Chain A
Amino acid sequence: MSVGRVAATKGVLQRLREQLKFIEKGKNVLKMKRDQLAGEINKLLVDIKRRKEVEQLFSDAYESLKYAYTTLGYDTVVSAASAVELMEVRALPTSVMGVIMPDVEIVKRSDPKQVPLITLYSIAERLHRAVEEAIKLAVLEAKIEQLSRELMDTNRKVNALEKVVIPAYQSLIRYIEDRLNEEALEEFFITKHVRDIIRVRRE
């Protein structure tokens, strides 16, 4: 913050003090937001460990599907798959602490029981579970991404306030205070000097 552009007056000093108070309040609010965001991320990070599980679930189901695809044949698998209705999902963005977070609602679930043939039914059940888990995980990952981005932004703002803006205001206030003190002192000396001159002339 440029110091030279500010007039060193009591009015300016008072305005700067008020602004500093407001900025410090804002910094505290941002700090609270940062802590809350970090807490939220920490909570979500526990569930992100499920990624490996979900990947394994998919990998196993795909291995089985590959087996079914070869043993039953292309036509049979395609025909059996036609017996089950497709899953329908809807994206629902929600706002948490001003952060737009993605959410996915499963509007219509597919029923693996509709898949004929025990081979495909057993795989459909596993794949269905894997897809639902993957949706939950994708939402979770997207939430963490959004929250992390917001956390980074908030952190940057807190740091900027703490390390740049507030010290600049403080030094500006200090400068104005010094200038005002110097002016007061100068005035005091001038007054004293004038008084001394007047006293000498009277004598």
Chain B
Amino acid sequence: MKSPALIYLITRAHGLSTHLLIQDDYKTLIKSKDLISLVEYLLKSDYGSEISKIPGERLNVSSLSQVIYSVLISRFYHLINIAPSDVKKFLELYAERFIIENIKRILRAKHSSTKISSEALIPIPREYALINFPAMIESITLQDSLELLKATKYYQILDWLSLYRKYEIITILESALDKIYFEKIWKETDKLPDKRETKMIIGSEIDLRNINMILDLRARDISPETILSVSFKPVRLRDEDINQMSRARFDTIPDILARTPYQSLAQRLKEAIESKKLEKIDYIIADEIYNQIKTIMVRYPNSFSFVIGYLIMTEIEAHNLIALITAKELGLKEDEIKEILHT
């Protein structure tokens, strides 16, 4: 039996999901002749109030991306604020993906000793920013930045420092951060309502991110042992699948995937790898996440998984909009834009 507070949250998620852009919106946006007409259309949406604050001369991909991120963040934290206490902690934990993304952005800059400012980070409300980002930005070396994570829930990242030093590539630390994040999330799913459906939705994301990470590290010839140490505990995949993928030659990973519940993904990945279009891998996996989540949301509209699904959809919408804006600025054709959106 669901609590009234949880039913309210699911109902609100349904209500809020009607604010998301639909197929017709995307069609109109794709057809808009330039960035200005695209922005004019967005003025009628949730993005309107934030976009209208940008002066005309500052209207560009960077400023619009900031607006899209701020709307995304406000959507996430709005739902967290109205969530009942039994799921609030989980949702807060779920929203930490933005903190993880910000940590990654700072570590990337520190890795190459490049300057970074707070404008390069996703704007997270102060009360939810668990990390001292200004101090991390100010720190001189990557080691100093990591030291600042010692007193946080991401302290385990320091365990991967030796591996990072061995390979000298930032992807090791980024994968480790994802591992810490997803393992925390997965641990919490046991305490959630509608456990089966929620695990289904979270599990799909974990598996797909795992596949993405393995492909990424295999492409760089990272040793299987290292890959296994940063890979997450699989959900729908078996340990054996992860083990085999970590040891396989990069171009044979889709063949292993073809024997798992991710056959359709395997086919798309195989095509991309065979045609040497590796730049499509991240998109293909993001698209698979979108398709899986959409299916689960449609199948279980009254479960807590719908709330998670809504959050993932807001994130996908943000990516779609940034892609659209960038595509318009670069002058991509309508057909080309359709191919890069998750709709």
Contact = CB atoms under 8 A, between A and B. Distances in A.
B215 interface: yes
Q: Interface on chain A toward B: helix, strand, loop, or mixed SS? A: helix
5 contacts: A71-B283, A71-B319, A71-B323, A72-B282, A119-B278
Contacts, number: 103
A74 B65 contact: yes
B104 A79 contact: yes
Nearest to A67: B279
A114 B111 contact: yes
B163 interface: no
Contact of A70 (B170, B212, B330): B330
A82 B105 CA distance: 8
Interface in A116-143: 116-123
A72 B78 CA distance: 25
B263 interface: no
A73 B279 CA distance: 13
B282 A117 contact: yes
Interface in A66-80: 66-75, 78-80
Interface residues of A, number: 28
Interface stretch (B20-28, B35-43, B112-120, B201-209): B112-120
Interface string A49-83: 00000000000000010111111111100111011
Contact of B326 (A74, A120, A123): A74
A60 to B, nearest CB: 9
Contact of A82 (B112, B171, B216): B112
B326 A70 contact: yes
Contacts of B100: none
A85 interface: yes
Question: Would you call the interface of chain B mostly helix, strand, loop, or mixed?
Answer: helix
A38 interface: no
A84 interface: yes
Given A74-B62, A118-B212, A69 B170 contact: no
A83 B216 contact: no
Contacts of B171: 116, 121
Contacts of A120: 279
Given A114-B169, A121-B220, A73 B108 contact: no
A118 B323 CA distance: 18
B120 A75 contact: yes
Contacts of B330: 66, 69-70
A73 to B, nearest CB: 4
A161 B168 CA distance: 63
B91 to A, nearest CB: 24
B61 interface: yes
Contact of A118 (B62, B116, B278, B326): B278
A113 interface: yes
Given A80-B108, A122-B278, A66 B332 contact: yes
Contact of B112 (A67, A84, A113, A122): A84
Contacts of A73: 65, 319, 322-323, 326
Given A67-B340, A116-B104, A121 B112 contact: no
B105 A79 contact: yes
Interface in B85-127: 104-105, 108-109, 111-114, 116, 120, 122
Given A82-B114, A117-B282, A119-B281, A69 B326 contact: yes
Given A67-B280, A69-B330, A122-B219, A116 B323 contact: no
Given A79-B120, A82-B120, A85-B113, 5 more contacts: A68-B279, A75-B62, A83-B108, A83-B170, A118-B281
A75 B212 contact: no
Nearest to B281: A118
B288 interface: no
A116 B220 CA distance: 10
Nearest to A80: B108
Contacts of A83: 108-109, 111-112, 114, 170
Contacts of B327: 70
A119 B279 CA distance: 4
Nearest to B322: A73
Interface string A93-120: 0000000000000000000011011111
Ranked nearest first, the 4 interchain pairs of A and B with the lowest CB-CB distance are: A122-B278, A83-B108, A73-B322, A118-B216
B219 A118 contact: yes
B104 A123 contact: no
A70 B340 contact: yes
B295 to A, nearest CB: 22
B317 interface: no
Interface in A16-71: 64, 66-71
Contacts of B277: 64
A117 B216 CA distance: 7
B323 A70 contact: yes
Contacts of B319: 71, 73
